[in-house]
Amino acid sequence: MLTIDRAIHDAIVDHARRDHPDEACGVVAGPIGSDRPTRFVPMLNAAMSPTFYEFDSGDLFRLYREMGDRDEDPVVVYHSHTATEAYPSRTDIDLAGEPGAHYVLVSTRDGAEVDGTAIDFRSYRIVDGEVTEEEVSVVDGYTDDTPDPTKDSH
């Protein structure tokens, strides 16, 4: 399950709407091993395409160096689909290189690029080409009581 702060959820949705009709993309970093997305990092879609996203290699290199310096992991890797449902494409699956990350897809099709319109926000785990959808829990803020998905509750 992905537990995500409402402000970060809304920032991802806003980014998808702002970049429409091109796909938006970015990362939400969090403390190593926490599975808690805390630092929103919108990225430029270097492909500038409505059907494909690509992180700029220099920007991505700098982000990973920065995450290393801050003891962070890429907890969420997100992008939008502008004309299709929020489900990973074959290309998305082939490019999924972070087995520990939540892959969030936001669909801005059918008018969802307009603020106030319902938007499809879904999360997946993609490991070795296998796609598993997971529940998304949007919380108003993280507290000590917010379940940590890395801890077994039994």
pLDDT tens-digit readout, 96-152: 999 999 999 999 998 878 877 888 999 999 999 999 999 999 999 887 655 444 443
Taking residues 30-55, report their average pLDDT.
96
Task: Give the tens place of pLDDT for each residue, 61-104.
Answer: 999 999 999 999 999 999 999 999 999 999 999 999 999 999 99
Determine contact, residues 70/29, Cβ cutoff 8 Å: yes
Q: How far is CA 12 from CA 42, 120, 147, in A?
A: 8, 12, 22
Encoded tokens for 56: 């700029």
Assigned architecture for domain 2-139: 3-Layer(aba) Sandwich (3.40)
Quote the CA–CA distance of 2 and 134 in Å, as a whole number. 7
- 15 band by pLDDT with thresholds 50, 70 and 90: very high
What average pLDDT does the segment 26-49 reach?
96
List C-alpha distances in Å: 79 to 50, 106, 109, 142, 147.
11, 6, 13, 23, 25
Largest Cα separation within the chain, whole Å, is 46
- pLDDT score for 64: 97
Q: Is the pLDDT of residue 153 over 50?
A: no
**Which pLDDT score, from 0 to 100, does residue 121 have?**
97
The DSSP code for 23 is P
| Domain ranges, ordered by start, for the chain | 2-139
| Burial readout 12-41 (b: 16 or more C-beta within 10 A, e: otherwise) | bbebbbebbebbbbbbbbbeeebbbbeebb
